[in-house]
Structure 1
Amino acid sequence: MLLIKDLTKSFDGRRIIDQLNLEIQDGEILTIVGPSGGGKTTLLRCLAGLETIDSGELIIDGTKFDPVEMDNADQVVGIVFQDFQLFPHLSVLENITLAPMLSLKQTKEASVTEALDLLAKFGLSDKENLYPYQLSGGQKQRVALARALAMKPKILGYDEPTSALDPELRQQVEEVILTLKAQGMTQIVVTHDMTFAENIADNILTVTPVQ
């Protein structure tokens, strides 16, 4: 279980998140909706250690943690970014195996085996030697998801996973998220798409900009 207590975050003197309290159960899908400026993506970035929090506590399974100071091998929250952030000069396989080899100290053989298994699960078995520019938007997203899962996070976060996707691809994203839920993965999904949010969520958090 992830417990967020009194989390506050400001930028340039403007409070973005104001004493947020939130509890996310194991295996749950939480969707976070609301207008731009409400702190949705900022919350994800704080949980992943990409932003420091001003105050508050983060607790996973009863133990406090600071994601900024944690070793990558103990990653709590992994994120699939809206723009995917794949390395353009690396192949699909290299994109997925790089971090596990560097941060988790996996052997190349183990990392490649796991990456190929993940690619097979996402219907990308024939894409491992391609480069990001050779992939469609939906394929890039699935590679980014495989890369995040390869780091074995306890919780997976998504920043606008259906942004700019057509209805068929949105349906595929829903299916992937619900399949991961069936496997026990706790997930946090930031989205503007209320229909998508309602289709996948156990709970929906609606945020508004701090006045």
Structure 2
Amino acid sequence: MLELKAISKHFGRRLILDQLDLTVNDGEALAIVGPSGAGKTTLLRCISGLERIDAGQILLDGQTFDPYDNQDKDSVIGVVFQDFQLFPNLNVLDNITLAPILALKQTKDEAERQARALLERLALTGKEELYPYQLSGGQKQRVALARALAMKPKILCYDEPTSALDPDLRQEVEKLILGLKADGMTQIIVTHDLEFAENIADAVKHVDALPESK
């Protein structure tokens, strides 16, 4: 279980998150929704350790957890970014295996076996040697998901996973998230799409933009 207690975050003089509380149960899919500027992505970045919180406490399974300082955070919390952030100079297989080899110390054979299994599961068999520029938006997203899953995270976060997708691919993402939920994966999804959130989430957290300080 992931718990956030009285989390606050500033950028300069602007308060983005103010004493925010949040609980995500194991195996749950939580959607965070709200307007642009409400701090959804900032919250996700704090949870995943890409930003340091200014105040408050994060607990993982009842123990204090600082994702920003955690040396092994990529094996605890995975992130599928809105712009995918695939390495353009690496093919699909290498994009997925790089981190497990470097961070988890897997052998090349072990990492590739795992990557191929993930690609098969995500209907990407045969794409192993392609480069990101050769993939569609939906394919890039699935590769980014495979890369995150290859690190065996306890919690998987998504930043606006449907923002650049057409309706058919949006439904595909829904199926992927629901499939992972059926497997027991804990997931946190930031989205502006309330209908999508209600389709995939066990719980929905609404956040609102804070007034700017004068």
For this structure pair, what is the TM-score category when the shorter chain's length is used for normalisation? over 0.9
In structure 1, list runs of 5 or more residues that go unmatched: none
Structure 1 position 129 matched with structure 2 position 97: no
In structure 2, distance between residues paired with 1:73 and 1:194: 29
- What do residues 154-195 of structure 1 show as CA deviations (whole Å, max 9, x unaligned)? 110000000121111001000000000000001000111111
In structure 1, distance between residues paired with 2:144 and 2:173: 12
Counterpart of 2:171 in structure 1 is 171
Q: Does the 8 Å contact 1:73/1:151 carry over to 2?
A: no
- What do residues 66-102 of structure 1 show as CA deviations (whole Å, max 9, x unaligned)? 1111123663221100000000000000000000111
Please give the TM-score of this superposition, normalised by the length of structure 1. Answer: 0.98
In structure 2, list runs of 5 or more residues that go unmatched: none
Deviation at 1:64, TM superposition (A): 0.8
In structure 2, distance between residues paired with 1:77 and 1:90: 23
In structure 2, distance between residues paired with 1:203 and 1:177: 14
CA shift in 2, pair 1:133/1:74, >3 Å: closer
- What do residues 18-73 of structure 1 show as CA deviations (whole Å, max 9, x unaligned)? 01111111111110111111110011111111101001111011111111111236
In structure 1, distance between residues paired with 2:106 and 2:156: 21
Q: Does the 8 Å contact 1:2/1:23 carry over to 2?
A: yes
Structure 1 segments, 4+ long, off by >2 Å, are: 72-76
In structure 1, distance between residues paired with 2:131 and 2:198: 34
In structure 2, distance between residues paired with 1:137 and 1:41: 20
CA shift in 2, pair 1:132/1:147, >3 Å: same
Please give the TM-score of this superposition, normalised by the length of structure 2. Answer: 0.96
SS in 2 for 1:195: helix
Counterpart of 1:99 in structure 2 is 99
Structure 1 position 201 matched with structure 2 position 183: no
Q: Does the 8 Å contact 1:67/1:75 carry over to 2?
A: no
SS in 2 for 1:9: strand
Q: Which amino acid in 1 is paired with 2:207?
A: V
Q: Does the 8 Å contact 2:74/2:151 carry over to 1?
A: no
SS in 2 for 1:10: strand
Counterpart of 2:22 in structure 1 is 22
Q: Does the 8 Å contact 1:73/1:103 carry over to 2?
A: no
SS in 2 for 1:189: strand
In structure 1, distance between residues paired with 2:70 and 2:112: 25
Q: What number of residue pairs does the alignment pair up?
A: 211
In structure 2, distance between residues paired with 1:111 and 1:75: 14
SS in 2 for 1:119: helix
Q: Which amino acid in 2 is paired with 1:61?
A: D
Counterpart of 2:184 in structure 1 is 184
In structure 1, distance between residues paired with 2:38 and 2:98: 34
Q: Which amino acid in 2 is paired with 1:136?
A: S
Identical columns (%): 65
Q: Does the 8 Å contact 2:2/2:61 carry over to 1?
A: yes
Matches within 5 A, 1:84-163: 84-163=84-163
Deviation at 1:105, TM superposition (A): 0.8
Of residues 72-81 and 40-49 in structure 1, the stretch that sits farther from structure 2 once superposed is 72-81
Q: Which amino acid in 2 is paired with 1:199?
A: N
Matches within 5 A, 1:36-115: 36-72=36-72, 75-115=75-115
Of residues 73-82 and 166-175 in structure 1, the stretch that sits farther from structure 2 once superposed is 73-82
